[in-house]
Chains A and B, each alone.
Chain A
Amino acid sequence: MNKPIRTISIFCLFLFLALMVNATYLQYWKAEDYNDNALNRRVIEAAYSRERGAILVGREPIAESLPVKDKYKFQRTYPTPFLYAPVTGYFSFFDQTGIERSQNGILSGEDSKLFVTNLVDLLSNEEGKGGNVQLTLDPDAQRAAYDGLDALNGDVEGAVVALEPRTGKILAMASLPTFDPNKLAAHDLGAVGDAYDRLNDAESEPLVNRGIQKTLPPGSTFKLVTAAAAMTYADYSADDDVPGGPTFQLPETSGESGVIDNEGRSCGSGKIPFGQAMAQSCNTTFAQLALEVGADRMRDQAEAFGFNSRYLEDLGPQAVSQFPDEMGRAQTGQTGIGQFDVRATPLQMAMVAAAIGNQGTVMQPYIVDEVQTPDLRTLDKTEPRELSQAVSSSVADGLTQLLVETVREGTAGPAAIPGVEVAGKTGTAQSGIDDVPPYAWFVSFAPAQDPEVAVAVMIESADYERGEIAGGLLGGPIARAVMEAVLQ
């Protein structure tokens, strides 16, 4: 009977081999598939009950995990929720946004940079902790930006972004309306779902970080780009005269709708000084300059400042600022004053201002200053990186001169700071939709020579009469407050 017993032995050997191969397939090759499966609550719950690292601004945590006595062990808490929510985003059982999402690897502790720390935890049988994320935000500037927006009348929709021109550090990023991420991080998952639905359905889009996620026509603030193109491609300098006039009929148009005027500001007739054109924000001038430069080179200039591309790597999702691709000559004239299909985020306009202040060099904007181990050792510090050279340094100097004049004598007066030379530009962009009031913009940087801060303010909606909405009046004081906060 031994022969069949040997056969049975071999048969059993195959049975056990099959089991071992299959277990290896399941737990090694297929493991990632199963872990990523949407039905897999285990992985989600484990991530949710880990001690996440803190998000820090200055020395203060703006998001931290505090121990609680329930099954998830830690409660994600935001001590100053409304101020920072657009940046931190939220960390809920179902989803994450903002820094909570973009830096999830570090915060959760899964990033390979934390490998050594994790190994030590594993060996010492400690619960793994996530690393910390230090932001570049300046708490005073952030507070000034938020308070400035919040002080406007009515239900404000708007955003402020401030940059350090030399490095590209984001110093402030406020957006209204905002939300309370604590409500979305709560452990009562039913209430979280309701809160999320309410926020997500709200018409005012409180979950959108308007600083980077929403593009709007930049209006007259785009004249910085037009002026840069005129100086770069059409050999104008700050002291030259430029075409002016009370009205301008766009080419290839006829009648009222093709006429551009200056809404009552003084723009002379025939040639006027470049300084006057910028200070009075002369639409007629910049439409003609854009036509002189031409659509392709206007686009080149806009793209040199960052339009039509993504550059923000540590926070998202970033809306791409647009300069249109195909257009006729009438539309080219309109783009010169930031209308037609030109659309920009506040971050993009802050970058334009920052580049002019920084000798024409566009720095890549960033908000994560460094990532740290749970015991605050620096793992990785972001190094400033040049994104592009938008204009030459002589063009940048000329533009700065124009913008300083605009603050001193022109429409951007409300941003003036005693004792500091400020460069700035207002913008009031037509929404292009009936019943939707114009958008007020303001961009500035200070001190004008070697600036420490560049700001863009965008007010999408606030409770003002149509006639009162002007970038200078609404945005100027906010920009000034932010600049003062940084300069102090």
Chain B
Amino acid sequence: MAQQGALMEFVHRRRRGAELFLLVLALAVGVGAYAAVGLGVDGQVPVNLVGYGSWLAALTVAAHVVVRFVAPYADPVLLPVIAALNGLGLAVIYRLDLAYEAAGRSNHDFAPKQMTWMTVGVVLFVVTLLVLRDHRVLTRFTYTCGLAAIALLLLPLVPGVGKTINGARIWIGVGPFSFQPGEVAKVLLVIAFAGYLVLHRDALALAGRRVLFIDLPRGRDLGPILAMWAISLGILVFQRDLGSSLLFFGLFLVMLYVATERPGWLVVGTLMFFGGAAVAYTIFGHVQNRVNIWLDPMDYYDQTPGSGQIVESLFGMAWGGLIGRGFGEGDPSRVPFAESDFIIGAIGEELGLTAVIAVILLYGLIVERALRAALISRDGFGKLLATGLAATFALQVFVVIGGVTKLIPLTGLTTPFLSAGGSSLVANWVIVALLLRISDQARRPVPDLSAPEDDVDEQATQVVRIG
């Protein structure tokens, strides 16, 4: 009783006021950056600044109000952080639009499109929070989610539906829009893994034999990990998408490790990944190409496929230095696809190392908050789901920013919340909605757990009462 009493004493505060205050700061980042782009490029604030600012404010406030009502105990930091990232991304995309327009390119409406997608993202965020009052409901859809994810991943390979853009077959065309189903599959896969692992963790964790100080799992339990490995390699081979392949497999490994608490899985998985990657390197030209470019980007500057994109981005970031050239003073449109995969290069060029570090820290904060929710979550499914979503974020950010800054070989992935691209933006808003739901559940005051049949003392009391 005493112990339970101590636990009951600590109650998380709702902190919705703090969230609102941070949201105001985040809005200042978004609207301020937008105004700065206009001042830097055209010498005047953009004409639609008021309308733009109001819409951005409306979206964030709407999200905040919904959180206040349906997830009052949710983490107060997550929403402001993603609002700031999304706002900064919009401003940088708008900056690139202006550069594309000045250069006479036909496509220079990425910012309005991104705003539309952000709106869709916020709507889905709200819907997720409203519909999903308890994340454990998702365990019912474990296999549905898994199958849907695999279907989505295969969709781009279907003739007539799939589109190859920039050498990667990871897109589907829906009317005028291009959609990357992999981004949605990512969320579904995390849900499926979490549901599967929370059921089978005991079998995976306890059965096995010891070889050379490492607890290896049983052969029959290797099924799912082998399946995931095959899927990852399939993505690598058939869709030529190194980034997603790495992301999905890494994600699965992390969740498996957390569920079973057995580092042996990590060893086996990592070996399998590097084995697969080594084989892929020797067999596939595009993998070799990526690695060669990573080792010596300057040698491939003028070749096709070459390193012009990453080299220009590196030049831009180096030129930006510590504080950047300032909006309008750089030349970020030299980098092909600066608005999507290489947006961190544009930020580094015009806003400098300061902003790059700030962005990385914001991502770090998201991951930290998600893992914190996982730690305090009261159910295994919530823990696994939050960890999986955190790992998705961390791996994706590492793979894309590390690739652009030449820490690791470049693989195509979007930068969450910053890159222009609807599928990624919408999926990430949903991810944050799930995280908020988990943290809301975790931070709520402990409900009255005194179910009669669980507690002998209580039963005795009952007996006395009846008596």
Contact = CB atoms under 8 A, between A and B. Distances in A.
A15 B247 CA distance: 14
B405 A23 contact: yes
A28 B384 contact: no
Interface stretch (B73-81, B167-175, B357-365): B357-365
A30 interface: yes
A42 B315 contact: yes
Interface in A1-55: 1-9, 12-13, 15-16, 18-20, 22-24, 26-28, 30-35, 37, 39-43, 45-46
A480 B207 CA distance: 107
Contact of B367 (A7, A12, A33): A12
B258 A45 contact: no
B394 A16 contact: yes
Contacts of B367: 12, 16
Contact of B357 (A12, A23, A41): A23
Given A9-B368, A27-B318, A42-B331, A1 B394 contact: no
B402 A22 contact: yes
A27 B402 contact: no
Contact of B383 (A5, A32, A40, A45): A5
B114 to A, nearest CB: 24
A8 to B, nearest CB: 6
Contacts of B368: 9, 12
A125 interface: yes
B256 to A, nearest CB: 10
B320 to A, nearest CB: 6
B35 interface: no
A51 to B, nearest CB: 14
Given A20-B357, A26-B314, A26-B405, A8 B319 contact: no
Contact of A8 (B301, B331, B371): B371
A413 B383 CA distance: 104
A15 B320 CA distance: 23
B421 interface: no
Contact of A27 (B321, B331, B374): B321
B158 to A, nearest CB: 35
A27 B375 CA distance: 36
Interface string A289-304: 0000000000000000
B371 A12 contact: yes
A30 B368 CA distance: 30
Interface residues of B, number: 53
A31 to B, nearest CB: 4
Interface of B is mostly: helix
A466 B361 CA distance: 81
Interface stretch (B49-57, B132-140, B176-184, B348-356): B348-356
Interface string A378-412: 00000000000000000000000000000000000
Interface string A213-248: 000000000000000000000000000000000000
Interface in B358-398: 360-361, 363-364, 367-368, 371, 374-375, 380, 383-384, 387, 390-391, 394-395, 397-398
B322 interface: yes
Contacts of B326: 125
Contacts of A4: 257-258, 261
Given A1-B259, A27-B348, A41-B334, A19 B398 contact: yes
Contacts of A8: 254, 257-258, 371, 387, 390-391
Interface string B306-328: 00000110111111111000100
Contact of A45 (B312, B331, B395): B331
A37 B254 contact: no
B298 interface: yes
A471 B405 CA distance: 66
B98 interface: no
B99 to A, nearest CB: 11
Contact of A3 (B259, B261, B357, B397): B261
Contacts of A24: 353, 357
B407 interface: yes
A1 B383 contact: yes
B245 to A, nearest CB: 18
B360 A16 contact: yes
A125 B407 contact: no
Contacts of B322: 27-28
A5 B319 contact: no
A31 B316 CA distance: 9
A45 B312 CA distance: 13
B39 interface: yes
B258 A16 contact: no
B286 interface: no
B68 interface: no
B298 A35 contact: no
Contacts of A9: 368, 371
Contact of B317 (A1, A15, A26): A26
Contact of B375 (A5, A20, A43): A5
Given A5-B374, A15-B394, A15-B398, 20 more contacts: A4-B257, A8-B258, A8-B371, A12-B367, A13-B364, A15-B395, A15-B397, A16-B367, A16-B394, A20-B360, A23-B357, A26-B406, A28-B322, A30-B318, A31-B321, A35-B315, A35-B319, A39-B301, A42-B312, A43-B315
Interface of B: 39-40, 254, 257-259, 261, 298, 301, 311-312, 314-322, 326, 330-331, 334, 348, 352-353, 356-357, 360-361, 363-364, 367-368, 371, 374-375, 380, 383-384, 387, 390-391, 394-395, 397-398, 401-402, 405-407
21 contacts: A12-B364, A12-B368, A12-B390, A16-B360, A20-B361, A22-B406, A23-B405, A26-B406, A27-B320, A27-B353, A27-B356, A28-B321, A33-B318, A34-B315, A34-B318, A34-B319, A39-B311, A42-B319, A43-B319, A46-B331, A125-B39
